[in-house]
Amino acid sequence: MAEFRTISPVSRPVCGVIRPPGSKSLTNRALVLAALAEGESRLTGVLDSDDTRVMIESLRRLGLGVNQDIDGCRVEIKGGGGRIPADEGDLELQNSGTSIRFLTALCCLGQGVYRLDGNARMRERPIQPLIDALESWQVDVRSEHGTGCPPVLVRANGLRGATIQVSGEISSQYLSALLMVAPCADGNVSIEVQGELVSRPYVDMTLAVMRSFGGRIEEAETGRFRTEGGGYRGTDYKIEPDASAASYFFAAAAVTGGEVTVQGLSNVSLQGDIGFVDVLENMGCTVDWGEDAVTVRGGELRGVDVDMNAISDTAQTLACVAPFANGPTHIRNVEHMRAKETDRVSALVTELRKLGLDARERADGLTIVPGEMHAADIATYDDHRMAMSFAILGLRQPGVRILDPGCTAKTYPNYFADLDRLCVGAR
């Protein structure tokens, strides 16, 4: 793909209907649970992206049968019944946090030696809290270089019933990884969260998908989970469109005063990021909820002060809506974003300042003060959400060029084509 992409501003409000591809978060959870299930599962609405490709390839390397129909967005998996067929595996996960964390736990159900690695950025992303939890589960697992980051080496001998603890302060994915494998252990498992649990809606998503595959789990009190043995059963599972991806299209309506309907989502979505529309409503937009669609209509925007801990994957989207509001916007309680694909707090402030804005970094978030902007080349830091978010800002501000636009392939390979299709009537 080109080294940069110039975003063409619109001259009229953006109006239209769109259906984003399947949720990356749901796709990778469903793939893991289908791989662990007894019998065959059929997944529909499956996302095809870099993150899901490395997951599928890794499951194949672990000896599981995975048949993918990319054009039909379908995957069929013959599960291993809670066991890993291969007794060794060398898995390359690029910069997919869900993949490396979920698969580290999944490999512990095997009988053998497994190595999980990623790209240069992944080797900087912490995985020690998951390692600590697995070690308390009597698993031989370590950070190969002693950094607390990948590569990870697992010498597995199955999982037994236990009571374990895991930190929730950096990523909810550590807890989700443990929860998903726990029903396949030889005995009941209790998992206790230590400290604040960030991004709680993603854990609720994990629990919902586990139950769809027959997993037996309860949360007796907040942060204390108990699973029963028995594993999972193969099932037919439909994956929702990606609510994080939908945030960009909702934002397009907000910044241009338009009206955008996203199909396939509703107020009963499993994805917490659908809550982004509530933030837009607080800013002055109108939101209409349908049974299988959500519509956002733009209005006069006002700045907000918002805790985005639970929906931090949409914080970058909000940061690119904020310059068009009346008054400053404060994004709080998102310190864990610093351990994502890049330090997202610092990256946002740096790129907003390039545009001439007064953006201020804090330990737990940032403040954006609206003001006059000018053209700028936006660095994306190999972070798909930087590229997609600043493209929305470019719908209003001329001269925005997105560097390395191909990074959107991580979760949404056709993002720019879909955005152009939505905006064609406004240009």
Q: Calculate ∠ Cα 113-167-205, nearest 5°.
A: 85
H/E run at residue 419? helix 415-423
End-to-end CA distance of the chain, in Å?
23
- For residue 24, the tally of other CB atoms under 10 A from its CB is 26
Which residues lie across from 365 on neighbouring strands? 362
Catalytic residue among 313, 382, 383, 404: 313
Unique residue bearing structure tokens 């804090």: 362
Cis ω before 151 (30° cut-off from 0): yes
Cβ neighbours for 97, distance < 8 A, ≥ 6 positions apart: 122, 125, 171, 173, 340, 341
Active site residue 313: yes
- The CA distance from 48 to 410, in Å, is 9
**Nearest alpha-carbon partner for 139 in 116, 167, 176, 111:** 111
**Nearest alpha-carbon partner for 321 in 267, 269, 260, 271:** 260
Both tokens assigned to 102: 């979920």
Contacts 24+ apart (CB under 8 A), 405-409: 405/1, 405/2, 405/4, 405/5, 405/380, 406/1, 406/2, 407/380, 407/382, 407/383, 408/384, 409/49, 409/50, 409/384
Alpha-carbon dihedral 258, 263, 269, 270, rounded to 10 degrees? -110
Separation in Å, CA 100 to CA 59, 97, 126, 130, 393: 12, 5, 11, 11, 32
Separation in Å, CA 277 to CA 36, 48, 252, 352, 354: 35, 25, 12, 22, 27
- For residue 288, the tally of other CB atoms under 10 A from its CB is 12
Both tokens assigned to 32: 């893991």
H/E run at residue 41? strand 40-44
3-state DSSP of 379-416: CCCCCHHHHHHHHHHCCCCCCEEEECHHHHHHCCCCHH
Both tokens assigned to 182: 């726990």
Show which residues are catalytic: 313
